[in-house]
């Protein structure tokens, strides 16, 4: 049975109820596309930018973005609407093959690649405070630098094209604070917000994404000492448990405690900066 705390957290994250059937899923896809199109119309801008990693989240958001600008072009007759998909590898990404499969599936109007390695290394060398850290701690801090440099690159491309940056955060990541503050957590619009992980997979599958991407083990892939480290290992719980928690279902006492504790400890990530 759902607890008051589960209900409170699900409400705070605006969690979307489980899809009752295929029609509900399709309606949600249409609602998300309408949201993306509305964001562009309301902003007076015509370009969307998103970094594509090869995971299911950016694959799904990227395809939704491309479909949205195609619909806007058809509806308005304005070919200025377009989507730029950006690859942001750190040197050579260990799962680059998946990233290219994602790019082929998304079929963006424009593709760009920005290798962030020089920027990350240049900044890291200048921050002397990193020199006193253990290898593991330094790797973690540099991982966050990677996430923030990636967002700097996306906003630079968006600024150069008078566009908006898309984020890929959804409820299953938001509840765990599993994003870098002012890194991948920074964006102009987040079209996957409120969805749990399995709903993102369902949408991706319905849009026709390859099964290898839909069911790929999720990873932030920020730590050089552990390339491809699974998200679930970092969480201490599975996405199935997180999804169940957010949808008000029973989870083990251990999973419940981990999710609630992590949500509380990461609250600062979901808030605007503190002010007097």
Structural domain contains residue 235: no
Whether residue 196 is contained in a domain is answered as yes
Burial letters 173-191, b for 16+ CB under 10 A, else e = bbbbbbbbbebbbbbbbbb
Number of residues that make up the chain: 276
Top pLDDT among 1 and 158 is at 158
Could you tell me which of 111, 65, 244, 276 has the C-alpha nearest to residue 73? Answer: 65
Domain limits for position 141: 17-228
Question: Looking at the domain assignment, is residue 6 inside a domain?
Answer: no
Active site includes 57?
A: yes
Using alpha carbons only, give the angle 25, 29, 33 rounded to the nearest 5 degrees: 170
**Residue 276 covered by a domain:** no
Residue 251 tokens read as: 């989870």
Residue 225 has pLDDT above 90, yes or no: no
From 57, 98, 169, 231, active-site residue: 57
Residue ranges with strand state E in 156-274: 163-165
Residue 48 forms part of a structural domain: yes
Separation between Cα atoms, residue 11 and residue 56, nearest integer Å: 24
Record the pTM. Answer: 0.95
Give the up-direction half-sphere exposure of residue 153: CA atoms within 13 A in the CB hemisphere: 26
Residue 264 domain flag: no
In tens, the pLDDT along 79-137 reads 999 999 999 999 998 899 999 999 999 999 999 999 999 999 999 999 999 999 999 99
Name the domain count of the chain.
1
pLDDT tens, 140-156?
999 999 999 999 999 99
Catalytic residue among 98, 169, 173, 243: 173
Taking the C-alpha atoms of residue 193 and residue 178, their distance in angstroms, rounded to an integer, is 13
Domain assignment present for 130: yes
Q: Is 173 a catalytic residue?
A: yes
pLDDT of residue 1: 60
What is the distance between the alpha carbons of residues 88 and 117, in angstroms, rounded to a whole number? 9
CATH code of the domain containing 194: 3.40.50.620
Q: Is residue 11 part of a domain?
A: no
- pLDDT tens across 167-183, in order? 999 999 999 999 999 99
């Amino acid at each position: 049975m759902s607890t008051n705390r589960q209900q409170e957290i699900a409400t705070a994250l605006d969690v979307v109820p489980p899809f009752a059937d295929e029609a509900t899923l399709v309606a949600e896809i249409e609602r998300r596309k309408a949201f993306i199109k509305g964001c562009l119309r309301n902003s007076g801008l015509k370009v969307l930018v998103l970094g594509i990693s090869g995971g299911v989240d950016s694959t799904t958001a990227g395809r939704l973005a491309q479909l949205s600008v195609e619909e806007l072009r058809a509806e308005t007759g304005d070919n200025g609407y377009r989507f730029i998909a950006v690859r942001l590898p750190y040197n050579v990404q260990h799962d680059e093959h998946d990233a290219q499969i994602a790019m082929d599936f998304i079929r963006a109007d424009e593709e760009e690649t920005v290798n962030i390695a020089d920027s990350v290394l240049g900044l890291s060398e200048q921050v002397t405070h990193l020199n006193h850290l253990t290898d593991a701690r330094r790797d973690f801090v540099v991982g966050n630098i990677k996430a923030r440099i990636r967002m700097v690159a996306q906003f630079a491309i968006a600024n150069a094209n008078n566009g908006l940056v898309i984020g890929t955060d959804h409820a299953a990541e938001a509840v765990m604070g599993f994003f870098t503050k002012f890194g991948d957590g920074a964006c102009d619009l987040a079209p996957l917000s409120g969805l749990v992980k399995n709903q993102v997979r369902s949408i991706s599958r319905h849009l026709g994404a390859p099964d290898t991407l839909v069911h790929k083990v999720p990873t932030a892939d920020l730590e050089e000492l552990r390339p491809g480290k699974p998200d679930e290992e970092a969480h201490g719980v599975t996405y199935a448990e997180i999804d169940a928690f957010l949808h008000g279902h029973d989870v083990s006492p251990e999973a419940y405690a981990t999710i609630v504790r992590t949500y509380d400890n990461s609250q600062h990530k979901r808030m605007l900066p503190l002010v007097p």
